[in-house]
Amino acid sequence: MNEKKNRLLPLAALCIISALLGGVSSVSLLQYVYPQTLSAIEAQANLNSPGTASPVTLLANTQTDESNSPVVQVAKDVGPAVVGVSNYQTVSNAYRYGFGLGSRDNTQSSELVEAGTGSGFIIDAQNGYIVTNYHVIEKAQKITVSLSDGRNLEAKLIGSDARTDLAVLQISDTSNLTEVKLGDSSQIEVGEFVVAIGNPGGNKFARSVTAGVISATNRTLQMSGESTLYNMLQTDAAINPGNSGGPLVNYSGEIIGINSAKYAESGFEGMGFAIPITEATSIITQLIENGAAKHPALSVSVSDQYLLYAKEQNLPLGAYIYEVNPEGPAGKAGIQEGDVITHVNDVKVENSTELIGEIYKHNVGDKVTLTFIRDGQTKAVQVTLGEITS
């Protein structure tokens, strides 16, 4: 598995453009998450060693309370609702022959192989809905889930959203399913005990349990592609390859996060990240109802190249606007090229990432006040947020 530190590379301006203009944004976790993606399969033809879905690498040593009875109960209550998710993709038989895997024939054929595995959890037993990460099922041509009772079922992709790294699956056989209880991640405190459950290393290690604490909240993760995850929960509970999409659970047995990422810098330990469930819930609902999710947008292009100049000249920091769609929300409100946005409502923003993070805390149609600097003067306008659809 290619586990490199560029899982958390600085965000390029292009990412900002894509996110705010509504261009297609993709989470480029696959090269780290699925070492056996189609391209890797074709290059290496390692068809008998499917990869595992993971954000990057973890070096954590989990510390837990000596009394593990709360963890035991959480495992009993939540474990049956955790599933393995397998991503199958097509590979040509010509590649198999080229690497000595099978005999050559004159027919052009292909087959589905397991490109990677991850985790998920059942949120609606009656309807068979399962939540996982987008990067777990990205490019899948077939998806299967493995249940705690040993059943392996084909799943239907109901909807996915690359911007938030979320996806919803559905299975038709809903007999004897266990569903999770959703908690309130907005009430999480740093230091609170949590449990991560998932399938690290694939289904042979299904429903493995690790424990730790919430190390921090409101973290922003800048990915190596056109994707940024906002308001993430940070934990030292071990999140290993294959845990992606699995639940992060409090000691009350409630889901408070969806395990999605981890820090791969050599020398760092115990830095896993989860999508807060309270923010994920609205996206999950949209995916179930519409198959896609809407996100708020300004319809502007933003760059951070201004920041170096601002620091040298002792100017206020902010998000520099270098292109405006005149028919978009910000353009209609009077925002112009060259403006530097410094606040969203009363919240200070000092760069493009912070601007998008604040906008994403709102809903399509919300009115926000943007404070900005133009020609040395501070101005403010009210903007009705537009939308981007996943």
Measured distance CA(85)–CA(120) in Å, rounded: 6
What pLDDT, on a 0 to 100 scale, did the predictor assign at position 45?
Answer: 32
What pLDDT, on a 0 to 100 scale, did the predictor assign at position 189?
Answer: 96
Q: Give me the residues paired with residue 310 across strands.
A: none
pLDDT digits (tens, 9 = 90+) for 285-300: 999 999 999 999 999 9
Nearest residue to 151 via CA among 124, 171, 166: 171
User: What is the average pLDDT across 365-385?
Assistant: 97
User: What is the average pLDDT across 180-204?
Assistant: 94
Nearest residue to 32 via CA among 64, 11, 58: 58
Backbone region of residue 314 per phi and psi (left: phi > 0; alpha: psi in -120 to 50; beta: other values): left
Residue 10 has what DSSP assignment?
P
Domains and CATH numbers, the chain: 5-290 (2.40.10.120), 295-389 (2.30.42.10)
| Contact of 245 with 198, CB cutoff 8 Å | yes
- Strand (E) or helix (H) holding 14: helix 13-21
Measured distance CA(229)–CA(231) in Å, rounded: 7
Q: What is the dihedral of CA 20, 23, 24, 26, to 10 degrees?
A: -40
- Strand (E) or helix (H) holding 358: helix 352-359
What pLDDT, on a 0 to 100 scale, did the predictor assign at position 202?
Answer: 84
Q: What is the mean pLDDT of the chain?
A: 82
- Check whether 92 has a pLDDT greater than 90: no
User: What is the average pLDDT across 226-244?
Assistant: 88
3-state class percentages of the chain: helix first, strand second, coil last, to nearest 5: 20, 35, 40
Token pair for 97: 């022959």
Residues 6+ positions from 92 with CB-CB distance below 8 Å: 42, 108, 109, 110
What pLDDT, on a 0 to 100 scale, did the predictor assign at position 203?
Answer: 84
What pLDDT, on a 0 to 100 scale, did the predictor assign at position 8?
Answer: 29
pLDDT, greater one: 16 or 155: 155
Cα distances (angstroms) measured from residue 215 to each of 139, 194, 247, 266, 274: 33, 10, 17, 19, 11
pLDDT, greater one: 323 or 41: 323
Measured at the alpha carbon of residue 114, what is the angle toward residues 204 and 34, in degrees to the nearest 5? 90
- Ranking 53-57, 85-89, 258-262, 342-346 by mean pLDDT, the lowest is 53-57
**Residue carrying the six token digits 């080229």:** 98
What pLDDT, on a 0 to 100 scale, did the predictor assign at position 110?
Answer: 79
Backbone region of residue 3 per phi and psi (left: phi > 0; alpha: psi in -120 to 50; beta: other values): beta
CB atoms within 10 A of CB 305: 11
User: What is the average pLDDT across 362-371?
Assistant: 96
What pLDDT, on a 0 to 100 scale, did the predictor assign at position 40?
Answer: 36
pTM: 0.77
Report which residue type is found at 17.
Answer: I
Measured distance CA(70)–CA(188) in Å, rounded: 17
What pLDDT, on a 0 to 100 scale, did the predictor assign at position 265?
Answer: 72
- Check whether 263 has a pLDDT greater than 60: yes
pLDDT digits (tens, 9 = 90+) for 95-147: 554 444 445 555 566 789 999 999 999 999 999 999 999 999 999 999 999 99
| Contact of 249 with 37, CB cutoff 8 Å | no
Report which residue type is found at 207.
Answer: R
pLDDT band at 222; cut points 50, 70, 90: confident
Q: Which residues are catalytic?
A: 135, 165, 244
pLDDT digits (tens, 9 = 90+) for 300-341: 999 888 999 899 999 999 999 999 999 999 999 999 999 999
Report which residue type is found at 203.
Answer: N
- Check whether 247 has a pLDDT greater than 70: yes
- Check whether 248 has a pLDDT greater than 70: yes
What pLDDT, on a 0 to 100 scale, did the predictor assign at position 223?
Answer: 67
- Check whether 42 has a pLDDT greater than 60: no
**Residue 59 burial class via C-beta count within 10 angstroms: exposed 0-12, middle 13-18, buried 19 and up:** middle
What pLDDT, on a 0 to 100 scale, did the predictor assign at position 53?
Answer: 56
pLDDT band at 345; cut points 50, 70, 90: very high
- Check whether 15 has a pLDDT greater than 80: no
What pLDDT, on a 0 to 100 scale, did the predictor assign at position 61?
Answer: 43
| Contact of 16 with 307, CB cutoff 8 Å | no
pLDDT digits (tens, 9 = 90+) for 157-168: 999 999 999 999
pLDDT, greater one: 3 or 103: 103
Distance of CA 27 to the CA centre of its chain: 8
Backbone region of residue 128 per phi and psi (left: phi > 0; alpha: psi in -120 to 50; beta: other values): left
Distance of CA 97 to the CA centre of its chain: 36
Phi, psi of 114 (to 5 degrees): -75, 110
Residue 342 has what DSSP assignment?
E
Measured distance CA(271)–CA(283) in Å, rounded: 25
- Ranking 3-12, 111-120, 129-138, 182-191 by mean pLDDT, the lowest is 3-12
What pLDDT, on a 0 to 100 scale, did the predictor assign at position 101?
Answer: 46
Measured distance CA(277)–CA(248) in Å, rounded: 9
What pLDDT, on a 0 to 100 scale, did the predictor assign at position 389?
Answer: 85
- Check whether 365 has a pLDDT greater than 90: yes
Measured distance CA(311)–CA(260) in Å, rounded: 34
Tell me the percentage of the chain whose pLDDT exceeds 70.
77
| Contact of 85 with 54, CB cutoff 8 Å | no
Q: Give me the residues paired with residue 116 across strands.
A: 51, 87
